[in-house]
Amino acid sequence: MTGDTGPDSVPQGLRQLVRASELGIVALAGIVGVLAGLVVIAMNAALQALHVLVFRIPDAAHLSITHGIAPVLLLAGPVLGGLAFGLCARSFLRTAASPPVDPIEANALHGGRMSLRDSLIVAAQTLFSSGVGASVGLEAGYTQASAGLASWIGRRFRVRRADLRLLVGCGAGAAIGTAFDAPLMGAFYGFELVLGTYAIPAFVPMMTATFTAALTRELLVPQTHPPLPAFATPGLVDLPAVLLLGFLCALVGIAVMRGATLVEAGFRRSALPAYLRPAIGGLIVGAMALWNPAVLSAGHGAVYHYLAADGTLALAALLLVAKVTASSVSIGSGFRGGLFFASLLMGVMAGRVYAAGLELVLPGLVPAHAAYALIGMSALAVAVVGGPMTMTLLALEMTGDLALTLAVLAAAGTASLATRRLFGFSFATWRFHLRGENIRGAHDIGWLREITVGTLMRHEVPLLDVDTPINEARRRYPPGAAPYLVATEAGRYAGMVAPATLYESGDTPDAAPATLRPLLRFARTSLAPTATIREALDLFEQAEADALAVTAPDGRVIGLLSEAHAVRRYSDEMGRRLSELTGERLD
C-alpha cells in the first residue's frame, strides 16, 4: 500500500486543536459525513446515467425491474463492458505497486492508512462494473471512496492511530447509511465491520458522520422508496421457523462465497487471458438477464419490488439460483464490486422460497410471505457480509416495526452463529484468507506486525566461540555479569549458553566440560529480525526459552531478545489499545 502523504495543507495550530479535543474529531467526522453523502449522490447519479446509456432504460427506472429491454442490449452491455473493464484493469495492474487496501484491511493492518488515489480507482471500477450490468453492488465503491477521503483528511491533520481508524469507519458507515437512507444502520456498519468494536468514545463521531451524510442527501437529493407491504409479525409460535430460516440463509451465504471462489479458480485454470474473463462473465450474466433483468447490477430496485410482489415458489427459487449464479460469475470473472446489495435480493428470494415451502408443507402456518422475505433479506446479508445488528437496524429503519425487527434479530443472530461455526469468514475476510492474510475482522492487529524483533532486540550481545575453554568463559563472564550468553562457530550462530551452567560443576576439574559445546541449548532455534512480536512470543513458548538470539539469513548473530522484554512491550501496547477503547487520550 502506498499512502498519499504529500505536503501538509493544515496549519499546525489547527492540527493541535483537533488532537487536543474530542470535539475536533467530532467536527472532522461531520466533514467526513458530508463528503460521504456527496460521494453516494454522485455515484448513484453516474450509475443511473450508465444504465440509461447502456440499456436505454427510462431516466427514473431501476435496471433490475425494467422489462422490455432490447435483447441485444442485455447481451452487448455486459459483454462489451466486461471487455473494456478487463483491458483497463490490465493497464492498471501493470502500474499498481500493490493491491488497493479496502477499509477493513486498512483498519486491521495499516492503522487506517489508505491511498486516496487507489480508493478512487476502486470506486470507479465498481461503478463501471455495476453500470454495465455485472451482478455486483456499489457498496464497495461507496465505502472505498468515502473511507479513502476520511483517511486522507485524518492524515492531513496527523490524528492518532485510533482516531484515524475511527474516521475511516465514519466514512464507510456514513456512505452505507446514506445509500439505504438508514443512518443507524450505517453507524453499526461502521462499528461492526470497519472498526470491529462497539467502542463508546466512537459513538458520537460515528453518529455525527452518518446523520450529516443523511442530511446532506436529504437536502440535495431527497430519497424515495417504493411503498412496502403490510408485514404480518411472526409470533413466539413462529420462532422455530424463524431460526430455521436464519440457519438456511447461512448455508446459502456460504454457498455464495464458495461459489465466487470456485468460479474465480475455474477462470484462473482456464486458458483465457485475464482481460477476457469479465467479458465471458458478462455474457453469462446477460444471457440470464434475457429471462429476468433482476440478475443485473446490484438489484436495489428489485429488493423493494420482490418484498412487495407475491409470486410462485418456482419463480422465487429460479430467481434465487439465478442471482446467486450471476453474482458468483461476476465476482469470479474479475468484475469489481461487493456482495452486500446482491445478498439482500438473494435473501428476499430465499425468504420467499422458504415461506412458500412452509405453506406447501403446513398450509396456514405462514400468514404472509413478505415478513419472511424481509427476515431472509437480513439473515442472508449477515451470512455474507457480517454485522447482525447492522442488518437488524436496516430492517427496523425500513419498516419501523419493532416487533418484526425482533424476529429479524433472532434470524440474523442464528445466521451469524452458523456462518462463524461452519465457515468462519465473511465475504471480505474470506477474500483476505485466500490471499494469505489472517484477518477475521477489522480489529486492529496491524500494530502486532509493526512491532518486529528487529525493533525490540538488544544489539550488544555477549558472544563466545563454541570451543572457548570453560575457565576462559568463567573469567570473561563471572557470576552476574550477563544474563544470557550466545555461542558462535565460524562466525555463525551455534546456540545459547545459560551462564549458571558454567559453574554447575563447581571447581572440580574432572566434572567440568572442556569447552562450551556440551552446554549449548536451542542450537536450531533463533529469531529472525523480521518476525513479529506475536511470532516471537509463540517461539518463546514453543522452545520454553527465556531468551533467544536474533540471526540474519546467513546465520550471523545480530541481536538478542528476552521473553521478559517482549512480554513487557506487548503488555504496554495492549494497554494503549485498551486506553483507546475506553476513551483515554494518550499523547
pLDDT value of residue 197: 80
Tell whether 149 and 260 lie within a shared domain: no
CA distance 324 to 321: 5
Average pLDDT, the chain: 86
H or E segment to which residue 497 belongs? strand 492-497
Same domain, residue pair 269 and 223: no
Q: Note whether 510 and 563 are same-domain residues.
A: yes
Task: List, as own/partner pairs, every contact residues 152-156 make where C-beta atoms lie below 8 angstroms and the sequence separation is at least 24, other chains included.
Answer: 152/4, 152/114, 152/116, 153/28, 153/31, 153/32, 154/28, 154/112, 155/3, 155/4, 155/5, 155/113, 156/8, 156/9, 156/10
- H or E segment at 81? helix 71-95
Last residue of a domain, one of 402, 434, 466: 434
**Alpha carbons 189 and 173: distance in angstroms, whole number:** 5
Decide if 401 is inside a domain.
yes
Domain end among 227, 250, 278: 227
Q: Is 426 helix (H, G, I), strand (E, B) or coil?
A: coil
Cell numbers 425468504 label which residue? 351
Give yes or no: residues 295 and 414 share one domain: yes
Reference 383, options 487, 289, 248; nearest CA is 248
Quote the pLDDT of residue 587: 46
Cα 143 to Cα 149: distance, rounded to the nearest angstrom = 10
Q: What is the pLDDT of residues 349-360, one digit of tens each?
A: 999 999 988 888
What Cα–Cα distance (Å) separates residue 402 from each residue in 175, 394, 412? 25, 12, 15
- Cβ-proximal residues to 378 (8 Å cutoff; 6+ apart), any chain: 347, 391, 392, 394, 395, 408, 411, 412
Residue type, 469: P
In the 3-class helix/strand/coil scheme, how is 544-559 assigned residue by residue?
A: CCCEEEEECCCCCEEE
Q: What tens digit of pLDDT does each residue of 14-70 get?
A: 777 777 778 889 999 999 999 999 999 999 999 999 999 999 999 888 999 999 999
What is the domain extent for residue 383? 236-434
Residues 87 and 212 placed together within one structural domain of the fold: yes
**Tally of domains within the chain:** 3
Question: Both 384 and 473 in a single domain?
Answer: no
Model confidence band, residue 96 (pLDDT cutoffs 50, 70, 90): low
What is the reported pLDDT for 389? 93
Indicate whether 223 and 300 sit together in one domain.
Answer: no
CA-based Rg of the chain, rounded to a whole angstrom?
29
Q: Is 40 strand, coil or helix?
A: helix
Residues 386 and 490 in one domain: no
Beta carbons of 3 and 154 less than 8 angstroms apart: no
With beta carbons less than 8 A apart as the criterion, state whether 534 and 448 touch.
yes
**What is the H or E stretch that residue 115 is in?**
none
Between 431 and 161, name the one with better pLDDT: 161
The share of the chain scoring above pLDDT 90, in percent, equals: 43
Rounded to whole angstroms, the Cα distance separating 552 from 493 reads 9
Supply the CATH number for residue 529's domain: 3.10.580.10
Q: What percent of the chain has pLDDT over 70?
A: 90
Cβ 357 vs Cβ 313: under 8 Å? yes
Query: pLDDT tens-digit profile of 139-194?
Result: 889 999 999 999 999 999 988 888 899 999 999 999 999 999 999 999 999 998 89
What's the pLDDT at 447?
62
Same domain, 18 and 137: yes
Task: Tell whether 282 and 139 lie within a shared domain.
Answer: no
For 501-529, what is each residue's pLDDT tens digit?
A: 887 755 555 555 778 888 888 988 999 99
pLDDT of residue 39: 96
CATH of the domain at 114: 1.10.3080.10
Co-location of 359 and 393 in the same domain: yes
Query: What is the distance between the alpha carbons of residues 447 and 109, in angstroms, rounded to a whole number?
Result: 7
Say if 266 falls within a structural domain: yes
Rounded Cα distance between 303 and 341, Å, is 9
Phi first, then psi, for residue 85 (nearest 5°) are -65, -45
**Phi/psi of residue 90, each to 5°?**
-65, -40
Residues 287 and 364 in one domain: yes
Q: What angle do CA 469, 472, 475 make, to 5 degrees?
A: 150
Q: Look at residue 5 in the predicted model and tell me its pLDDT.
A: 44
Residues 6+ apart with CB under 8 A from 421: none
